[in-house]
Structure 1
Amino acid sequence: MLKDDQFWISDDKAKLDMSVIKGYLARSYWAGQRLEEIIERSVQNSLCYGIYRAEGQVGFARVVTDDATIYYLCDVFIDEEFRGMGLGKKLVQYITQSERFRNIPGMLGTRDAHELYEQFEFRRDGDILMRRRPDHMRS
């Protein structure tokens, strides 16, 4: 868990606010058509990270992985009210620099956040797909 004075990140699924997650994903370009039951199942079967403040959840990310050869970073969001505060960077850094994922190849898809992910060594592979080589292969 990462914690500062105002915000913290946790991978404890018990802390997740499914109404926040479903609400944001329903507004997103990538998951707006996803059924609520599919969102619930995806959360149950993935590693999930929430970013919180005292009043509740303000961001989310989900990781699908085999813990050996690949991880897929998806459904990353920061609530519109909290953007511009560096929270997306903190969340992506927390995940990509964790012992669990720093030495596993990563991938994700985005139409509009390439610059964010490039800060964490993801490289474009076409218009939407991005890939990240493991730390030990970049050193």
Structure 2
Amino acid sequence: MQLENHEFLVSDRKELLQLDRIAALLRDSYWAQNRPVEIIEASIANSICFGVYDKSVQIGFARVVTDLVTVYYLCDVIIDEAYRGRGLGKVLVEAITNDERFARLHGLLVTADAHGLYEQYGFVRDPERTLRRKRAE
């Protein structure tokens, strides 16, 4: 899947991913600032990943963890701070939610501050039914 939006490219081709750029983006996030590079690399290997590119530089990232039959978990959605405010987060989430592989699956995600973005793409808040178990440190 590739989608060109004017000068930007959204792609799920893993060979385009730039581990150093992804690690830098995640270091600036509130949810993964301490995630080791080897964990990031393993998570990429075990997920369907999407990158956003300005020419040859990766400026955005998202991962989808799924069984491709019943459910997907959308995570690590991030756009480089210098590129925010241009609608690239919307382009990225739209590319993922419109992807045929996920069309008939139940989608999940967790966010502390971007509810409005995801609600535009059919996600709804469900505090009554959601439980979470954190991983052991």
User: Could you say whether these structures have the same fold, taking a TM-score greater than 0.5 normalized by the shorter chain as the test?
Assistant: yes
Q: Name the counterpart of 1:40.
A: 41
Alignment of 1:53-68 (within 5 A): 53-68=54-69
The count of aligned residue pairs is 128
Q: Name the counterpart of 1:51.
A: 52
Any stretches of 5+ residues in structure 2 without a counterpart?
Answer: 131-137
Q: Name the counterpart of 2:134.
A: none
Q: Name the counterpart of 1:125.
A: 126
Question: 1:46-86: per-residue Cα shift (whole Å, max 9, x none)?
Answer: 00000111141110000000001100000000100111111
Identity %: 53
Partner Cα separation in structure 2 for residue 87 and residue 58 of structure 1 = 9
Partner Cα separation in structure 2 for residue 4 and residue 21 of structure 1 = 20
Q: Which amino acid aligns with 1:77?
A: I
Partner Cα separation in structure 1 for residue 72 and residue 56 of structure 2 = 31
Q: Which has the higher contact order (CA 8 A, sep 6+)?
A: 2
Q: Name the counterpart of 1:114.
A: 115
- Return structure 1 stretches of 4+ with deviation > 4 angstroms: none
RMSD across aligned positions (CA): 1.3
Alignment of 1:53-92 (within 5 A): 53-92=54-93
User: TM-score normalised to the size of structure 2?
Assistant: 0.89
Q: Is 1:12 matched up with 2:13?
A: yes
Q: Name the counterpart of 1:99.
A: 100
Q: Which amino acid aligns with 2:106?
A: P
Any stretches of 5+ residues in structure 1 without a counterpart?
Answer: 130-139
Partner Cα separation in structure 2 for residue 35 and residue 54 of structure 1 = 27
User: TM-score normalised to the size of structure 1?
Assistant: 0.88
SS in 2 for 1:43: helix
